[in-house]
Amino acid sequence: MSKTHVTATINGEAAEFLCETQQTMLDVLRDVVGLTGSKEGCASGDCGACSILVDGTLVCSCLMLGVEAEGTSITTIEGIAQGDHLHPIQQKFLEHAALQCGFCTPGLIVATKALLDENPNPTETEARYWLAGNLCRCTGYDKVIRAVMDAAAVMRGETV
Amino acid sequence: MNYLSGDLKVVGTRPIRPDGVEKVTGRALYSADTRVGGMLWGKILRSPHAHARIVSIDTSKAEALKGVQAVVTSKDFPEITSEVAFVGEGPMNFRDLSDNVMARNKALYEGHAIAAVAATTAEIADAALALIDVQYEVLPHVIDVDEAMQPGAPVLHADMFTAGVNPKPATASNIAKVVTFKKGDIDAGFAEAEVIVEGSYTTKPVHQGYIEPHACLATYNPDGQISIHASSQGHFMVRAYTAKLLGLDMADIRVNPAEIGGGFGGKTLIYLEPVAVALSRKSGKSVKMQMTREEVFRGSGPTSGASVTVKLGAKKDGTIVAAQQVLKFQAGAYAGSPIGPGCMCGFAMYDIPHIDVLGYDVVSNRPKVAAYRAPGAPISSFAVECAVDDLAAKLGMDPLTLREKNHAVNGTKTHYGPTHTNIGFTEVLQATRAHPHWKAPIAEGHGRGLAVGFWFNIGGESSATVHINEDGTVMVATGSPDIGGSRASMGMMAAEVLGVPVSKVKAIVADTASIGFTFLTGGSRVTFATGMAVTQATEKVVEQLKARAAQTWDIPVEAVEWKDGQAFPAGTNAGAFPPLDLAAIALKQGRTGGPINAEVSVNAQGAGAGFGAHICDVKVDKETGHVEIIRYTAIQDVGKAIHPSYVEGQIQGGAAQGIGWALSEEYIYNDKGQMENPGFLDYRCPVASDLPMIEAVLVEVPNPRHPFGARGVGEVPIIPPMAAISNAIKSAIGIRMEHLPMSPPKIRAAIDAAG
C-alpha cells in the first residue's frame, strides 16, 4: 500500500510526512511525527485526551485522518508554550494544581485554548460545557475550572 | 523525631509540583509514549464468549502472515500451582493471575485473553488476530451475583469449594469464601431494640476509568535480561508478577516506571507485561503493547458489583444497639473480591455493642475485579448509610444528630478486631455541624443528604534515598510511583527537615534496580509510609551534615545544631564559628569524608484511620428522572496536609468518582454475557458539566505515628457519595433508591412505582 505525502504546518513549523490513508492524525502525530503529547484515551472521540487545533478549530485527532491535515495549520500541546515561556493556561493549571496524573492535561489545555480564543470571558457554566468533551478522572474538575477561569482573567489583562 | 508541634516552613504550603511543567507541555512520558527502533506491536485475541471451553487454537495461518514475528498462547507460559500472591493489593492467586493473563483451558469471561501476536505494524498484528482459529465449546454462563450463588448455577471452577465454612462443602460452587465478623450477641441486641429498619441494596460493577489505557514496552535480551517500561501502581509488583508468571529471576528484570495516567487501584496488577516479554523472547525484538479502551473495559478489572442487606436496631433515644449486614460481592472470574474490607468498613464508623456481618466472595463470568479506591468500603457503606438515614427518619431525628450520638471515638472496639486510636471522627462531625452548607436552608424542591465513611489506611514497605549534590541541591528518590503529586510532597518533607527551600530539592521515582523494595502505591500509603522513609533518610543526612561541620570546626558533633539549612555551634561554649550552610558543606564533602547520602527502608505501621462526611444537595427532575448535584461538600480528617492542594484534589476526585458510581456508571450485559457499553460514550463517567465545585474541607487531627502527622487521604472520599446522594434524593422526592446507579430510567421507574 502506497503512502500519501502530506504537507502541513505543525506548531508553526512547516512539516511533511508520509502516512497510510487509514491512519488517524493522532497516530500520525505520535508514531510518524514523534509528538507524543497528544494522548490516546479512547480512540473514539469520547475522552478528548488527543485534542488538537486544526486551523484554530478544536478537533479530536483520533477522529481525523492524517491525510486530512494537508494544507492545514495544526497546533498540539507541544505548541502551546512560546519557547520556554509557558502559556497562561499552562501556568494556571500548575498554580491551581489542576492536574494529578496529568494524562488528560494536554487535551484539557488545548481545549481551553480553543475556548478562550473564541470566548475570552466565559461563565463557569460555559467553561464546564465547553470542556465536557475532556474527561478527567482524577480531579473532579474543580481545580481545572478554577484554573481556566483564572487563566481567562489573566489573558484579559485583569489579573496576573 | 516528629515535627507535629514545630513551626513548619514548607509542609502545608502549595508549591508547584516538580513534574508539573513536563505534564502541561506534553513532554512527560507515559506508558505508551516510548518507542525503540525495530520494535514490534503486540496485540491480544480475546474471547467473544462469556464462558467456553477452549477446544483448540490453530495459530498457523497467523504465523504465516508476512510481518508476524511471534504468536503466543497459554502453552508459552509455565503452569503455576495455586499460591497466594505477595506484593499486590487485595487477594490474588498466582495460578489465577496466570490464567487471567492468558486463558489455559476455559474462557471465563468475554474479553479473556486467548492468544497474542507480535508484528511489524499494529495493522498486521490486528490482521493476524483474525487468522487465529479458536474452536470453543460454549458453556452456560452466569453474570449476576445472586444467580451465581444459586444451586444449579453454571460453575466456573470445578475445584472451588467454599472456604471459611465447616464442614468443607462436598460440591463445588461459585462461592469462593465466606467471611464473618461478630461482636456482642446480635439476638440480644435486636431483642433490646425498640426501632428496627431493614434495607436491601444492590450496586453495579464500576470501572476505575483511568484515562491512560494499560500499555508497556518489553525487551528480552539473549542473555535473559529483561527491561520493561510500563506505568503501574507498583513497578516492584510488575517485576515480581512477571517473574513469577514466566518462571524468571527477579534480578533479570528491570522495570522502569513510566508516568502513570491514573490507576485508582486498577493498576495494582498486571495484564500485558508477561505477554509482551513472552512475545519479545520468541521474536527477539522489543514488543510494545497498548490496550484499546474497549479492551480496558472488557479485559481489566472493575470493582465488584454487589447485593447487600442491612438491619439496624435502636432505642427510641437513638442509641443503635444492633447492626447486621450480609454482603455478596462478585469477584469476577476468579476468587478475590474486596469482601474483607467490605465487611470491616460498613459499621466501623459507629460504636455499636452487637454486630453481625456475613460476607460472600462469589465468582461469575465477568472480568476479575481489581482494587478501586477503598476497595469494598463504598459498597458496604452505601447500604449502611442509607439504612442509618432511614433509621433517623423513623426515629424522627436529624441524621447528623443520630451519627453524633453513635459515632466511633478513640477507644471504640471495632467488630473486626482493632480498637480505634488517634482518630478524628468527632472533629469531622463537628466541622460538618459548623459548616455553612449544613446550616443553609434547603431550597424549595431540592433535597439534602449526609453520609459518612471510614477507611483504615495502610502503611507497609517503602524505601527512599536522599543525596546531597556537590552544589548543595538535593535529590530524593523513592520506589513509589507518583500517581497524584507525591513527588511534590516527598520533596517538601525533605526540604522541611533540611531547612532549605523546596526548589532546592528534586524528587524522582527510581526504577526497580536503583532503590530498595517498595510496596505499591495503593491504600493511601505513600505520603504516610514513603514519607516516613524520606523523612528518616533526610534526618540521617542532617546527622552527616552536622558531623562534617563538627569536623571542620574540630568540635564534638553534639555541639552542632542544624537549623534553616545551616550548621551552627550549639551555644557559646561550642565556639564562635560562622554558620556553615548546606552548599558550603556539600562543596567540601569529598574532602570531609566522601559523598553525603542516606537510604532508609521502613515497614511503616500506624497508618491512622481516616473518616469523612459528605453533604450533598440535589434537584430531581421528576419528568426525566435526571438528578442534578447542586452543592457538594466533603469534610475529612487528613491528619496533616503536606501539600493541601493535592489533598483537596484527592478528596474532590474521589467524590466525583463516587458521584459517577451513584448516578451513571455501570456495566451493561446482554443475554450472552457480553458487555454492551465498553466505551466512554455509553459507560458514562462524570464530565465537567455534570458537576458543581466540590468543596473539600480539611480537618487536621495529626496522626502521631507519622513525623508530620499525615494520614492517607485518597480512599475515604469515594465512600460516602452514593449514600449521600440516595439520602438527598429521598429528602427531595421521598423515595429511597436502593439500587445503583440512580440513573434517569431508574428514578423514573421509582417515581412511577410510587404513584
Distance CA A101, CA A9 (A): 30
Interatomic CA distance for residues B641 and B712, integer angstroms = 10
The pLDDT value recorded for residue B484 is 87
| DSSP per position, B329-393 | EEEESSS--THHHHHHHSSTTB--SEEEEEEEEEE-SSPPP---SSTTHHHHHHHHHHHHHHHHH
Q: For chain B, which residues score pLDDT lower than 70?
A: 86-91
Helices of type H across B637-699: 644-663
Stretch A2-16: mean pLDDT, rounded? 97
Residue B683 touches chain A, beta carbons under 8 Å: no
CA distance B271 to A153: 45
Interface of B with A in 436-495 (CB under 8 A): 483-485
The Cα of A76 is separated from the nearest Cα of chain B by a number of Å equal to: 9
Q: What pLDDT is recorded for position B89?
A: 63
Residue to test with chain A: of B23, B120, B677, most A Cβ within 10 A: B23
- Spatial contact of B160 and B335, defined as CB atoms under 8 Å apart: yes
Backbone phi, psi, residue B475, to 5°: -110, 135
pLDDT at B90 (0 to 100): 62
Q: Please report residues of B whose CB lies closer than 8 A to that of A127.
A: 688
The shortest C-alpha distance from A5 to chain B (Å) reads 19
B223 vs B203: CA distance, rounded Å: 50
> Cβ distance B415 to B182 under 8 Å?
yes
The minimal CB distance from B688 to the residues A81, A99, A132 is found for A132
Would you tell me which residues 485-514 of chain B have a C-beta closer than 8 angstroms to some C-beta of chain A?
485
What pLDDT does residue B574 have? 84
For CATH 3.10.20.30, the residue range(s) in chain A are 4-79
Secondary structure class of B401 (helix, strand, coil): helix
| Cβ within 8 Å of A, B 350-389 | none
The pLDDT assigned to B5 comes to: 84
Q: Closest approach of chain B CAs to the CA of A37, in angstroms?
A: 4
Q: Is residue A99 predicted with pLDDT exceeding 90?
A: yes
Q: Which residues pair with B464 in a beta bridge?
A: B478, B600
Average pLDDT value for residue range A137-147: 98
Q: If you measure CA to CA, which chain A residue comes closest to B260?
A: A101
Among candidates B27, B33, B694 on the partner chain, residue whose Cβ is nearest the Cβ of A142: B694
**Which residues, other chains included, contact B328 with Cβ-Cβ below 8 Å and sequence gap of 6+?**
B145, B146, B149, B306, B307, B308, B359, B360, B362
Q: Which burial class, exposed, middle or buried, applies to B411 when counting CB atoms under 10 A from its CB (0-12, 13-18, 19+)?
A: exposed
Distance CA A71, CA A64 (A): 14
> Does A1 have pLDDT greater than 90?
no
Domains and CATH numbers, chain B: 20-27+459-604 (3.30.365.10), 34-139+212-261+267-299 (3.90.1170.50), 306-457+608-754 (3.30.365.10)
* B722 contacts: CB under 8 Å, gap ≥ 6: B203, B378, B381, B382, B451, B658, B661, B662, B740
Residues near B483 by beta carbon (within 8 Å), at least 6 away in sequence: A100, A101, B233, B260, B262, B263, B521
Flag if B653 and A128 touch (Cβ within 8 Å).
no
Contact A143 B20 (CB under 8 A): no
pLDDT tens track for B362-391: 999 999 999 999 999 999 999 999 999 999
Pairing of strands A13-19, A4-10: antiparallel
Architecture of the domain delimited by A88-155 = Orthogonal Bundle (1.10)
Instruction: Provide the shortest C-alpha distance from residue A126 to chain B (in Å).
Output: 9
pLDDT at A142 over 80: yes
Contact indicator for B714, B696 with CB cutoff of 8 Å? no
CB-based contact B688 A97, cutoff 8 Å: no
Q: Where in the sequence of chain A do the CATH 1.10.150.120 domains occur?
A: 88-155
The verdict on B174 touching A (C-beta cutoff 8 Å) is: no
- CA of A14 to nearest chain B CA: how many angstroms apart? 20
Q: What single letter denotes the amino acid at residue B117? A: V
Determine the 3-state secondary structure of A147 from DSSP. helix
CA dihedral B671, B674, B680, B682 (to 10 degrees): -10
Q: Dihedral of CA B551/B555/B559/B563: which sign?
A: negative
Q: What is the Cα–Cα distance from A131 to A144, expressed in whole angstroms?
A: 10
> Which 3 state secondary structure label does DSSP give B511?
coil
C-alpha cell at A132: 465536557
**Residue range B174-197, pLDDT digits in tens:** 999 999 999 999 999 999 999 999
Instruction: Give the Cα-Cα-Cα angle B152, B155, B161 (nearest 5 degrees).
Output: 100
DSSP assignment string, B107-155 = E-STT-EEEEEEESSHHHHHHHHHT-EEEEEE-----SHHHHTSTTSPP
Would you call B25 and A78 a contact, using CB atoms and an 8 Å cutoff? yes
On chain B, the residues whose CB falls within 8 A of the CB of A61 are: none
| Test mutation, B211, B648, B659, chain A, max A CBs within 10 A | B211
Chain B residues with beta carbon closer than 8 angstroms to that of A86:
21, 24-25
Taking CA atoms, B671 is separated from B138, B141, B393, B683, B739, in Å, by 14, 9, 40, 18, 21
Compute the distance between CA of residue B198 and CA of residue B194 in angstroms, rounded to an integer. Answer: 14
Q: Is B576 on the interface with A (CB under 8 A)?
A: no
Q: Are strands B694-699 and B627-637 parallel, antiparallel or unpaired?
A: parallel
Q: What is the pTM of this model?
A: 0.97
Residue B282, C-alpha cell as written in the block = 520468541
Contacts of A149 in chain B (CB under 8 A): none
Q: What residues in B contact A141, CB-CB < 8 Å?
A: 656, 686-688, 691
Q: Do A142 and B693 touch (CB under 8 A)?
A: yes
If DSSP codes are grouped into helix, strand and coil, which group holds residue B755? coil
Return the number of CB contacts < 8 Å for A and B: 185
How far does A45 lie from chain B, in Å, by closest CA?
A: 9
Q: How far apart are CA B735 and CA B728, in angstroms?
A: 10
Are residues B210 and A46, on separate chains, in Cβ contact within 8 Å? Answer: no
| Residue B656: closest C-alpha in chain A | A140
Residues of B in contact with A44 (CB under 8 A): 293, 679-681
| A4-79 CATH, one of 3.40.50.2020, 3.30.390.30, 3.10.20.30, 1.10.3720.10 | 3.10.20.30
C-alpha cell at B302: 472493575
Query: C-alpha dihedral over A80, A82, A84, A85, to 10 degrees?
Result: -90
pLDDT of residue B316: 98
- Is the separation of the CB atoms in B541 and B596 below 8 Å? yes
Q: Which residue of B has its CA nearest to A49?
A: B211
